[in-house]
A and B are shown apart, each in its own frame.
Chain A
Amino acid sequence: MTGAPLVVVEDLHRVFDVSKPWLERVFDGTPRQTLTAVAGVSFTIGKRETFALVGESGSGKSTVAKVVVGLLPPSAGTVTIDGISMSDAGQARERRALQRRIQMIFQDPYASLNPRWRADRIIAEPLRAHGLMTDDRQIDDRVGDLLRTVRLDPADGGKYPHEFSGGQRQRIAIARALAANPEFIVCDEPTSALDVSVQAQILNLMRDLQDELGLTYLLISHNLAVVRHMATRIGVLYLGRLVEVAPPSELFARPRHPYTRMLLDAVPDLLTTGRERRPIEGEIPSPIDPPPGCTFHPRCPFANDRCRVESPAPVDFGLSKVACHGVEEGRI
Chain B
Amino acid sequence: MTRSKEPILSVRNLRVEFPTRRATLVAVDDLSFDIAAGEVLGVVGESGAGKSVTGAAIIRLLEPPGRIAGGEVRLAGQRIDDLALPQLRAIRGRRIGMVFQDPLTSLNPVFRVGEQLVETILQHLDMTDAQARARSIELLAEVGIPAPNERIDAYPHQLSGGMRQRVVLALALSTNPELLIADEPTTALDVSVQAQIITLMKGLCRRHGTAVMLITHDMGVIAEMADRVMVMYAGRMAEIGPVRDVLRAPRHPYTRGLMGSIPSLTGTATRLAQIPGSMPRLTAIPKGCAFNPRCAEVFARCREARPEPIPVGSGAAACWLYAPATQERTP
Contacts and interface: CB of A to CB of B under 8 A. Distances in A.
Asked if chains A and B come from one complex, the reply is: yes
Classify chain A: how many residues form its interface, as a range.
35 or more
Contacts of B191: 56, 222, 224, 263, 266-267
Contacts of A200: 260-263, 272-275
A270 B160 contact: no
A283 B247 contact: no
A279 B199 contact: yes
A197 B46 contact: yes
Given A225-B262, A273-B247, A266 B46 contact: no
Contact of B265 (A199, A262, A267): A267
Interface residues of B, number: 44
Contacts of A159: none
Contacts of B223: 268-273
Contacts of B272: 200, 203-204, 229
Contact of B274 (A197, A265, A275, A277): A197
Contact of B278 (A57, A198, A279): A198
Given A200-B274, A270-B223, A56 B266 contact: no
B244 interface: yes
Contacts of B275: 197, 200
A110 interface: no
A229 B196 CA distance: 25
Interface stretch (B6-14, B21-29, B120-128, B214-222): B214-222
Determine chain B's interface SS by DSSP, over half rule. helix
B207 interface: no
A268 B216 CA distance: 13
Interface in B88-141: none
Contacts of B161: 283
B32 interface: no
A252 B265 contact: yes
A273 B224 contact: yes
A222 B190 contact: yes
Interface in B147-177: 160-163
Contacts of B259: 270
Nearest to B188: A57
B261 A197 contact: yes
B248 A271 contact: yes
A268 B220 CA distance: 5
A161 interface: no
A136 B223 CA distance: 53
Contacts of A223: 263
B312 interface: no
B285 interface: no
A274 B278 CA distance: 32
Contact of A283 (B160, B220, B271): B160
A126 interface: no
B265 A269 contact: yes
Contact of A270 (B47, B196, B220, B279): B220
Contact of B195 (A195, A225, A277): A277
Those 4 A-B pairs whose CB atoms lie nearest each other, nearest first: A268-B220, A200-B261, A280-B192, A195-B46
Given A198-B46, A263-B191, A270-B247, 6 more contacts: A200-B274, A201-B274, A222-B191, A268-B220, A270-B223, A270-B259
Interface of B: 46-47, 160-163, 190-196, 198-199, 217-221, 223-224, 243-244, 247-248, 257-266, 270-275, 278-279
21 contacts: A56-B190, A167-B278, A198-B46, A200-B275, A204-B271, A204-B274, A207-B270, A224-B191, A225-B263, A229-B272, A252-B265, A262-B192, A268-B195, A269-B220, A271-B266, A273-B243, A274-B244, A277-B199, A279-B199, A280-B193, A283-B192
